[in-house]
Amino acid sequence: MSLHLVLHGLAVKKHADAVAIAEFAGIAADAAAKFLAHAVARGRAVEAQGKFMLAPLARVALAGEYSREYAALRASATLLAAYEAFERINVQLKGLITDWQMIDVGGARVPNTHSDRDYDVGVIDRLGELHERADRILTQLGRELPRFEYYRRHLLAALERAEGGAIEWVSDARILSYHTVWFELHEDLLRILGRQRSE
């Protein structure tokens, strides 16, 4: 299961180093590094400058493992109900992130330059309200899959940093911002449950 989680972590994160994968999988960094080296040696992953990605054929093989690894979770009424609740909030988060990235000026939507602090604070306040509802769902998900505590921890940390004035923690894709972690959480759920992301 640890090797599966390491490869699953690469599928969710797309591109990550051993430390990030170790935290995701809940294993020691040296163990993650060994699994990743094994995956590279077997052609299941590729490495460049200390970061790893799934090899194309490994993506196909991993997809075939999900139904076996997560058969019990896919049959869990509790998990499915929590997932449906998550998807409803996901629609709201998409709208919120659009409002963060774009702003109305003279009736037109233009990129948010983040020069209007009051506007940004208002969006972050909305994010805090959404987080309260999302955290209850994550608590339910965590009862079925304890490693989802990873997402609870990182979402809260990102929100607190954004509320403290470091606004990059709302949606910057280069860090574990709120939107980055949320996107990974959604990808994780979709893979576990065998669903497709709706655009």
Q: Is the pLDDT of residue 164 over 80?
A: yes
**pLDDT score of 185:** 97
Mean pLDDT for 135-155 is 94
Q: Compute the mean pLDDT over every residue in the chain, rounded to the nearest whole number.
A: 94
Q: Which three-class secondary structure state does DSSP give residue 112?
A: coil
Q: Is the pLDDT of residue 199 over 60?
A: no
Mean pLDDT for 162-185 is 97
Angstrom distance (rounded) from CA 31 to CA 1: 13
Mean pLDDT for 90-102 is 97
**pLDDT score of 60:** 87
Q: Is the pLDDT of residue 1 over 80?
A: no
**Domain residue ranges of the chain, discontinuous segments joined by +:** 2-69, 72-193
**pLDDT score of 107:** 87
**pLDDT score of 63:** 86
**pLDDT score of 25:** 94
* Tokens at 61, concatenated: 């093989």
Mean pLDDT for 117-140 is 96
Q: Tell me the CB-side half-sphere exposure of residue 110, using CA atoms within 13 A.
A: 8
pLDDT confidence tier of residue 64, bands split at 50, 70 and 90: confident
- CATH class given for the domain over 2-69: mainly alpha
**pLDDT score of 57:** 87
Cross-strand bridge partners of residue 102: 111
Mean pLDDT for 68-97 is 95
- Could you tell me where the DSSP H helices lie in the chain? 2-13, 18-25, 29-41, 56-69, 71-74, 77-101, 117-144, 149-163, 178-193
State pLDDT tens for residues 23-55: 999 999 999 999 999 999 999 999 999 999 999
Mean pLDDT for 151-163 is 98
**pLDDT score of 106:** 87
**pLDDT score of 93:** 98
